[in-house]
Amino acid sequence: MFLVLGNATIDESMAVEAWPAPGQTVVVGTPARDIGGKGANQALVLARTGAPVRFVAPIGRDAEGDWVASRHAEAGLDTSSLIRVDAPTDRSLIFVARDGENAIASTVAAARSIDPDAARAALAGLGAGDTMLLQGNLTGEATMAALEEARARGVATVLNPSPMQAGFPAMLPLVDLLVLNESEGVQLGGSGEPETIAAALAARSGGIVVLTLGGRGAIVRGPDVRAVVPARTVPVVDTTGAGDTFAGVLIGALWHRRLPVAAAVAAASVAASLTVQRKGTLAAFPSRAEVEAIFAAN
Ligand code: ATP
């Protein structure tokens, strides 16, 4: 079983001709509305590798929460582990410029309302052979509680420390697989060339580190592995969701399909190269059939 413990949001995307400056209003067309949140995105992509996923995320007791739950069900996720909380359902306002660059404002009240007890409870019934995936949207206390509970139960742990939080460096020894981008690597205390950052983080965690470098690919460092996996050269339309696609496929490839680390990273990079060629986030993720085709070819 794969536990994804994270956030679920409503994302509202607006295409802007120019960024709104302080004191200014910009007029936009009809916003595109869909489910989002790094937790939901990674759970959806992981499920498309065929992995059995328990997705635990907080949503409000509001109409937005109902809508998020129904969209998750339509997208093929089991919604029975979504938690209803008193806070309003989290949402993100995403401004997307013509060149694909984006600026995002997000609320986190629902995600931050998961306390350490609820985080530990999400692991009920899990043990050796199971895997837990966390991102950076829950509180540091809840994230730490989940990692400690996973260690006590023998559950493998994956952390994608995005958005970064002050307490994350102390969590590295509890992480079996760290998936992060270069700026997150620097925020965790790494410096210098990407290889040096990955090697330093791997030494501190004792596990595997996969440092993603956008169009430059990814670097893998771990006790028994050292690899550089180039990105595919493709026509890029919108890079939103590349990191979530990469993380979801990587984890399914490693622990569900049992591929060696370098092959799993290669499969994740092919999957992410599909996402960057399409607009949007959910709509850009590779389908179950596309993910299968990637595994068949690797
Ligand atoms: P996100 O934009 O989703 O936050 P991120 O910063 O977490 O992404 P990146 O390092 O930008 O993650 O991208 C993750 C992976 O996606 C890369 O390692 C690569 O395999 C693929 N990827 C990203 N950008 C490109 C690109 N321009 N061309 C091809 N592949 C890409």
Asked if residue 215 belongs to a known ligand binding site, the reply is: yes
Strand-pair partners of 134:
5, 159
Distance from the CA of 267 to the center of ligand 1, in angstroms?
Answer: 13
Residue 23 resides in a domain: no
Q: Give yes or no for residue 239 CB within 6 A of ligand 1.
A: yes
| Tally of domains within the chain | 1
Q: Has residue 298 got a pLDDT over 80?
A: no
With contact defined as beta carbons under 8 Å apart, do 162 and 181 qualify? yes
Asked if residue 214 belongs to a known ligand binding site, the reply is: yes
Which of 104, 135, 212, 265 for a ligand 1 pocket mutation test, highest count of atoms within 8 Å of Cβ? 212
| Distance between CA atoms of residues 257 and 50, nearest Å | 9
Q: Give yes or no for residue 4 CB within 6 A of ligand 1.
A: no
Distance from the CA of 212 to the center of ligand 1, in angstroms?
Answer: 7
Using the 8-state DSSP alphabet, how is residue 256 labeled? I
- Note the pLDDT of residue 101: 75
Q: Has residue 82 got a pLDDT over 90?
A: yes
Distance from the CA of 239 to the center of ligand 1, in angstroms?
Answer: 7
> Which CATH number goes with the domain that contains 148?
3.40.1190.20
- Note the pLDDT of residue 279: 84
Using the 8-state DSSP alphabet, how is residue 60 labeled? E
Which of 276, 279, 298 for a ligand 1 pocket mutation test, highest count of atoms within 8 Å of Cβ? 276
Residue 172 resides in a domain: yes
Q: Give yes or no for residue 218 CB within 6 A of ligand 1.
A: yes
Question: Which amino acids are annotated catalytic?
Answer: 244
Strand-pair partners of 85:
60
Q: Give yes or no for residue 265 CB within 6 A of ligand 1.
A: no
Residue 101 resides in a domain: yes
- Note the pLDDT of residue 39: 97
> What is the share, in percent, of the chain residues with pLDDT greater than 90?
89
In terms of Cα–Cα distance, which of 173, 170, 244, 165 is closest to 202? 173
- Note the pLDDT of residue 98: 81
Residue 26 resides in a domain: no
What's the mean pLDDT in 98-113? 88
In terms of Cα–Cα distance, which of 108, 110, 21, 36 is closest to 75? 36
- Note the pLDDT of residue 151: 98
Residue 282 resides in a domain: yes
Residue 25 resides in a domain: no
- Note the pLDDT of residue 8: 97
Residue 37 structure tokens? 């949140």
Mean pLDDT value across the chain: 95
Q: Give yes or no for residue 269 CB within 6 A of ligand 1.
A: yes
User: Structural domain of residue 263, as residue ranges?
Assistant: 2-17+31-297
Task: Give the angle 218-256-254 at the CA atoms, nearest 5°.
Answer: 25
Q: 118 pLDDT band (50/70/90 cuts)?
A: very high
Reduced to 3 states (helix: H, G, I; strand: E, B; else coil), residue 274 is: helix
Reduced to 3 states (helix: H, G, I; strand: E, B; else coil), residue 92 is: strand
Distance from the CA of 45 to the center of ligand 1, in angstroms?
Answer: 15
In terms of Cα–Cα distance, which of 101, 88, 89, 82 is closest to 13? 101
Q: Is this complex's ipTM strictly greater than 0.90?
A: yes
Residue 22 resides in a domain: no
- Note the pLDDT of residue 70: 96
Which of 246, 250, 270, 277 for a ligand 1 pocket mutation test, highest count of atoms within 8 Å of Cβ? 246
- What confidence tens digit (pLDDT) does each residue in 160-203 have? 999 999 999 999 999 999 999 999 999 999 999 999 999 999 99
What's the mean pLDDT in 39-47? 97
- What confidence tens digit (pLDDT) does each residue in 232-267 have? 999 998 888 999 999 999 999 999 999 999 999 999
With contact defined as beta carbons under 8 Å apart, do 291 and 272 qualify? no
Residue 120 resides in a domain: yes
Q: Has residue 99 got a pLDDT over 80?
A: no
